[in-house]
Structure 1
Amino acid sequence: MSERWTLSADARPSEMRAFGSLEAVFALEGEFITKDPLSRVLKVTVDGTRYYVKRYTRPAKDPLRYWLGRPRIRAEWENLLAFANWEIPTARVVAHGLERHFGRFVRGALVTEEIPNTTDLAQLAKSRDPRMSQSGWVNQCIRQVARIAQKMHNNGFAHNDLHWRNLLFREDDKRVYLIDCPSGMHWPAWLLRYRAVKDLASLDKSAKLVFRRTQRLRFLLAYLETDRLTPEGKRWARAVERAHGRRALRKRLGL
């Protein structure tokens, strides 16, 4: 049995006690948040600070991942650490690791510190938050989300699940944070544009419901770092619209 467990270099004494090993993390009890066939998420409080504890007992939906490839939990922590390295606001990774037996995945866990006083953009839209109709607030969010997408893509990385539910707005510092990225990965240059367009189309899917066309265009211009719609910008806009069409077709066909 082999175990790889890592605590953050800036871990506090209370975090070292609570999350010092994979065994300790799997023994934790807390508030149940959600579960799926692969994992279970709890919220725990340590010395007044709240943390999310995600525990995996399967590496992925594909049985081959027990032996081959990158387990989903490893992808989660590596992607969050990459975001921090690229200066993308994200949840602080406190501890992470996994256990194998003769090379076969057994279990794994990820501990992140809660980002307090946040609401995801999807919830803000669903609740018809008044800020969604304030042009100053919307423009601020647009610029931040565009910068997040741009930083990922400039590093050869695509999120693959870049929906509003994974973007948190924090009132305290007026910042947008990116969370939850188990499906993201680096892509070769010849595939990156296609994957980047899919990311932008995922964001635009929600934006179409609440933002004006000019605001959606402003997002694309911010992403491309230009103040006017160039021929290249028009190609990106058409590509995003085509991605919407492909998604709608797949939905109609049940694919």
Structure 2
Amino acid sequence: MTAQPFIAVNARALLEQHGLDSFDALWSLQLDAVDDPNIERGGWSSVYRLTLADEYGREHNFFLKRQDNHLTRNLRKPFGEPTFAREFRYIQAYARAGVPALEAAFFAQRALPGHQQAVLLTRALDGYQDAEDWVASWNTLKWTDRRDLLQAVGALVRSLHNAGLVHKCLYLKHIFLKLDQDGAGARLIDLEKTHPAWLGRRDFVSELTTLHRRSPVFSRTQRLRFLLAYLGSERVNAEARRWVRDIRRMQERKESRR
């Protein structure tokens, strides 16, 4: 049984034009995977790049994700559900909360005897690069570009935490950035581990500590610039000092357990 699909308003005409507005059509589409299938959860999950031209010849780039019995389980779903179903829910939640992230164009899932399958189509983040790529050339960037990128990441994480959410996998490779004439833009990907910040500020400190530990290239001044952007503050004050202290303490505790 196939559930009623979600099709984004701004993608429906394009998908209909190419006959790709159904689960079956996207499931059977022959494409080369961008990497090896993920087989960690007892099933499989693969990602493909898809380019479609609209009626005016303009190209639109997407990532097509398909999976079979690649499930996540929790108290609400003890028998499991496709991980893309969870990611799709959080793509929607991020959009409602105004947190910049990847955009869904199509989602559907179906149950067959012995199989749970899902298809998720997301728009490619054209013009963006993941933060790991930016860091690889960090010292060659102009200081104004470094400033704009740090401020964009700080504002992005602030919008996430202001929504009461934690990403739970906030690594540089999951933060996508771009530079343009107006500054920098930032978006998040790989949202399936997101959950509400049940512990409030402690969860936020933990997430910032993870990002801090995985960003060794940044100087102390640059880390402070990021934190001020995260706090929406223009200068160091008592609140900023408290966050710095709490992040340092949590990092020391994590390192002591290694």
- Tell me the equivalent position of 2:56: none
Query: Is residue 2:38 matched to residue 1:36?
Result: yes
User: Residue 195 of structure 1 aligns with which residue?
Assistant: 203
C-alpha separation between the residues in 2 aligned to 1:128 and 1:218?
A: 15
Q: Distance in 2 between matches of 1:225 and 1:94?
A: 32
Partner of 2:240: 233
The separation in 1 between residues aligned to 2:166 and 2:94, in whole angstroms, is 12
Q: Comparing 48-57 with 63-72, which one deviates more in the overlay?
A: 63-72
Higher helix share: 1
| Deviation by residue 1:120-146 (Cα, 9 ceiling, x = unmatched) | 111222345622xx2211111121111
State, as a whole percentage, how many aligned pairs show the same letter. 25
Deviation at 1:2, TM superposition (A): 4.3
Give TM-score scaled by structure 1 length: 0.84
Unaligned runs of 5+ in 1: none
Match of 2:101, SS? coil
- From the superposition, tell whether residues 41 and 156 of structure 1 become closer, same or farther in structure 2 (CA, over 3 Å): same
Superposition CA RMSD, Å? 2.6
Gaps of 5+ in 2: 54-58
Instruction: Mark the CA change 1:179 to 1:13 in structure 2 (over 3 Å): closer, same or farther.
Output: same
Letter of the 1:229 counterpart: V
Q: Structure 1 57/128 Cα, relative in aligned 2: closer, same or farther at 3 Å?
A: same
Q: CA deviation at 1:27?
A: 0.8
| Counterpart selection for 2:120 from 107, 110, 118 | 110
Alpha-carbon displacement from aligned partner over 1:194-233 (angstroms, at most 9, x marks no partner): 22112212221233x2221011012112211223333332
Query: Any idea what the Cα deviations from partners look like across 1:221-251, whole Å, max 9, x if unmatched?
Result: 221122333333222212222332344345x
**In the alignment, residue 36 of structure 1 is paired with which amino acid?**
N
Q: Which has the larger displacement, 114-123 or 57-66?
A: 57-66
Contact 1:58–1:66 (CA under 8 A) maintained in structure 2? no
Moved segments of 4+, more than 6 Å: 63-66
Question: Measured at CA, do residues 69 and 128 of structure 1 come closer, stay the same or move farther in structure 2, by a change above 3 Å?
Answer: same
Task: Classify 1:14/1:114 alpha carbon distance in 2 versus 1 (closer, same or farther; 3 Å).
Answer: same
- Classify the secondary structure of the residue corresponding to 2:86: helix
Q: TM-score w.r.t. structure 2 length? A: 0.83
Alignment check: 8 A CA contact 1:52 1:113 kept: yes
